[in-house]
């Protein structure tokens, strides 16, 4: 075949096989494929490469002939192995091996369809390999290089590259999804696109309650289940699927459309002792922020449940569930002043690539000022505007004398505290657990030392006994050797003495090794225990393990409130009276 046919055939295979399998679509890969596709013909001086590298081409043709060594599987495997090793050593571009193997083999296969064929198994065999082969017509169904059939084949492969290029550029899988236009196909499309883009969808659907038809482009919010998408329209979120019993809209067709390039940041926020209003500080004005998770409020919360839209916030007594909720949803239900006793929320923010992202939090920097996150527990204003309630949280034990409790109070009723004064210190359950572990490890270390002393004393006694036996055997052997020299002992008696000496020395060596290995084992165990103790003690000194709760205002401690909870815990808070001039309490 001619060089253009080889290039067109290799490029069509590159677009059809390699790009769907993960090889990037790029001009570099295409150029490399074209070069390798005509590389085997370097043994022909009249070929494209043969004219450029004529000094190599003439030598190859004179020594081996055309379509022999350069068209053999042996040389193909050797070059492939070399390129593979270079690729693993990062000397060449990734996917170079697959590109080379595909393009080189495509040349050999295409040449096997010619009348001449190729010596594919050279130098093991010099027989020509052809395809197809008909014994009744040896040259039938095959063509000559440069013939009209060769030219027709070139145009077929070249024209085939045009649709294959468009398919490869958009992805074969996505092409199928766009053709299907089902919620399941759009869901898979959303999975792949949402990692790097804001995703929209061209939707044609029918409302399952009103039977009104809606058509247009909407932003996709997320996925409710493997068969249902969530999309936003205005301030509301709706479900889109193919089940009229559970979905807000039943889809006629839906196709995902990639929007601007975007990045996604996800953080986890502990809201214990915080108001829901503090979530405003995590809301991006330059992107879309959604909240996920469950919280427990300090009181029962009643929220209306809608059947014509997706409920992003649901309530069950004092429990709140957030599912793709925005801060606007919190404001819509007037939940800003709800105090959270426990719970964490996952905050997911999607912003365009052009938005500025804070390097410390990983969240987009808001375009306009927002409320700061409180550094101390959020205040609850009671019915009397002169009283403030500072929630401390839930603990299994509290102590007013600074004892080993989870909550150690630093103030008593009637004390005056200034703004920034310490109200309580919280020792986390992790710290209490670490203290217990340290105590247990210290006891284990003492017991291990005692066992080591007993074991070492026993082993030292065994070594001393082995030394005495070895010395005695040494003396007996010397005596037997002397008697043998004077003819008073037989050779058998000398052999017995020497065997006893060798056995005693071997036993002494074994006893020494046991002593050394046992000592090393005990030392290693003690070192491991000490390392664990030091690591736990280091953790106890960090600021993350102890939290100081300070007063945000000047006031007088009016009351320490404790409400019993489940599992032996209690909910604690401090009531402060705002301090006016001339009012003083206990110091």
Domain residue extents for the chain: 3-170, 171-371, 380-428+546-578, 431-540
Q: Does domain 171-371 have CATH number 3.40.50.1820?
A: no
What confidence category does residue 103 fall into, taking pLDDT thresholds of 50, 70 and 90? very high
Cα separation of 263 and 307, whole Å?
33
- Check residue 161 and give its pLDDT: 92
For 438-461, the three-class secondary structure string (H helix, E strand, C coil) is HHHHHHHHHHHHHHHHHHHHHHHH
pLDDT at position 237 over 90: yes
What are the tens digits of pLDDT across the range 440-492?
Answer: 888 888 888 888 888 889 989 988 998 888 888 888 888 888 888 888 878 88
- Check residue 563 and give its pLDDT: 64
**For residues 125 and 403, which has the higher predicted lDDT (pLDDT)?**
125
Arithmetic mean of pLDDT, 532-554:
72
452 Cβ contact list (under 8 Å, min separation 6): 519, 522, 526
Q: Does domain 380-428+546-578 have CATH number 2.40.50?
A: yes
pLDDT at position 383 over 50: no
pLDDT over 90 for what percent of the chain? 24
What confidence category does residue 284 fall into, taking pLDDT thresholds of 50, 70 and 90? confident
pLDDT at position 110 over 50: yes
- Check residue 545 and give its pLDDT: 45
Q: Which two tokens stand for residue 412?
A: 């008593």
CA-to-CA dists, residue 170 to 138, 402, 417, angstroms: 44, 66, 66
Q: Which range has the worst mean pLDDT, 329-338, 460-469, 487-496, 555-564?
A: 555-564
Q: How many residues does the chain have?
A: 587
Q: Which range has the worst mean pLDDT, 96-105, 268-277, 424-433, 565-574?
A: 565-574
* Half-sphere exposure of residue 240: CA atoms within 13 angstroms, side-chain side: 34
Q: Which range has the worst mean pLDDT, 40-54, 164-178, 304-318, 437-451?
A: 164-178
pLDDT at position 382 over 70: no
- Check residue 579 and give its pLDDT: 59
Arithmetic mean of pLDDT, 218-235:
90
- Check residue 306 and give its pLDDT: 86
Arithmetic mean of pLDDT, 173-196:
83
Cα separation of 75 and 101, whole Å?
11
Average pLDDT, the chain: 82
Total-model pTM: 0.43
What confidence category does residue 159 fall into, taking pLDDT thresholds of 50, 70 and 90? very high
- Check residue 253 and give its pLDDT: 93
Cα separation of 143 and 156, whole Å?
15
Arithmetic mean of pLDDT, 311-325:
93
- Check residue 238 and give its pLDDT: 95
- Check residue 386 and give its pLDDT: 55
Most confident of 8-12, 270-274, 386-390: 8-12
- Check residue 171 and give its pLDDT: 66
What confidence category does residue 385 fall into, taking pLDDT thresholds of 50, 70 and 90? very low
How many CB atoms are closer than 10 A to CB 578? 14
Angle, in degrees to the nearest 10, between helices 148-170 and 172-180: 70
């Amino acid at each position: 075949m001619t060089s253009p046919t080889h290039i067109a055939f290799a490029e069509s295979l590159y677009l059809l096989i390699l790009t769907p399998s993960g090889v990037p679509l790029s001009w570099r890969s295409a150029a490399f494929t074209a070069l390798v596709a005509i590389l085997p013909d370097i043994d022909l001086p009249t070929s494209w490469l043969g004219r450029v590298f004529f000094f190599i081409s003439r030598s190859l043709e004179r020594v081996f002939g055309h379509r022999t060594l350069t068209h053999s599987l042996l040389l193909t495997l050797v070059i492939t192995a070399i390129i593979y090793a270079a690729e693993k050593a990062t000397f060449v571009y990734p996917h170079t091996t697959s590109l080379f193997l595909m393009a080189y083999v495509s040349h050999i296969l295409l040449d096997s369809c010619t009348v001449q064929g190729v010596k594919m198994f050279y130098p093991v065999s010099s027989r020509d390999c052809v395809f197809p082969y008909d014994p009744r017509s040896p040259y039938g169904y095959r063509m000559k290089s440069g013939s009209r059939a060769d030219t027709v084949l070139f145009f077929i492969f070249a024209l085939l590259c045009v649709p294959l290029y468009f398919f490869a550029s958009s992805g074969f899988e996505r092409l199928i999804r766009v053709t299907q236009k089902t919620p399941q196909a759009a869901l898979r499309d959303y999975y792949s696109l949402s990692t790097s883009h804001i995703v929209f969808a061209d939707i044609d659907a029918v409302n399952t309650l009103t039977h009104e038809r809606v058509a247009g482009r909407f932003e996709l919010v997320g996925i409710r289940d493997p068969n249902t998408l969530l999309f936003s329209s205005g301030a509301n979120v709706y479900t889109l699927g193919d089940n009229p019993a559970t979905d807000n809209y039943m889809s006629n067709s839906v196709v995902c459309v990639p929007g601007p390039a975007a990045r996604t940041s996800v953080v986890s926020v502990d809201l214990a002792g915080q108001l829901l209003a503090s979530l405003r500080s995590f809301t991006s004005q330059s992107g879309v922020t959604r909240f996920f998770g469950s919280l427990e409020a300090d009181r029962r919360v009643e929220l209306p449940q809608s059947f014509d839209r997706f409920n992003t916030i649901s309530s069950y007594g004092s429990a709140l569930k957030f599912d793709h909720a925005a801060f606007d949803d919190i404001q819509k239900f007037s939940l800003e002043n709800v105090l959270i006793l426990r719970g964490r929320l996952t905050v997911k923010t999607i912003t365009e690539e052009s938005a500025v992202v804070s390097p410390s939090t990983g969240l987009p920097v808001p375009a306009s000022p927002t409320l700061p996150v409180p550094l101390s527990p959020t205040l609850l204003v009671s019915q009397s505007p002169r009283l403030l309630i500072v929630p401390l949280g839930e603990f299994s034990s509290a102590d007013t004398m600074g004892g080993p409790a989870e909550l150690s109070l630093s103030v008593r009723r009637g004390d005056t505290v200034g703004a920034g004064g310490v109200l309580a210190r919280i020792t986390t359950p992790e710290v209490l657990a670490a203290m217990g572990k340290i105590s247990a490890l210290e006891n284990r270390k003492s017991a291990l030392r005692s066992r080591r002393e007993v074991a070492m004393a026993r082993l030292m006694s065994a070594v001393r006994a082995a030394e005495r036996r070895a010395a005695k055997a040494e003396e007996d052997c010397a005596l037997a050797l002397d008697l043998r020299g004077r003819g008073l002992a037989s050779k058998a008696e000398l052999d017995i003495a020497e065997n006893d000496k060798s056995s005693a020395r071997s036993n002494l060596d074994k006893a020494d090794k046991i002593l050394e290995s046992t000592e090393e084992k005990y030392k290693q165990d003690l070192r491991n225990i000490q390392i664990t103790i030091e690591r736990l003690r280091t953790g106890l000194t960090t600021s993350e393990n102890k939290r100081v709760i300070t007063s945000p205002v000047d006031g007088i401690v009016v009351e320490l409130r404790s409400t019993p909870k489940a599992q032996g815990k209690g909910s604690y808070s401090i009531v402060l009276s705002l301090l006016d001039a001339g009012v003083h309490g206990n110091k």
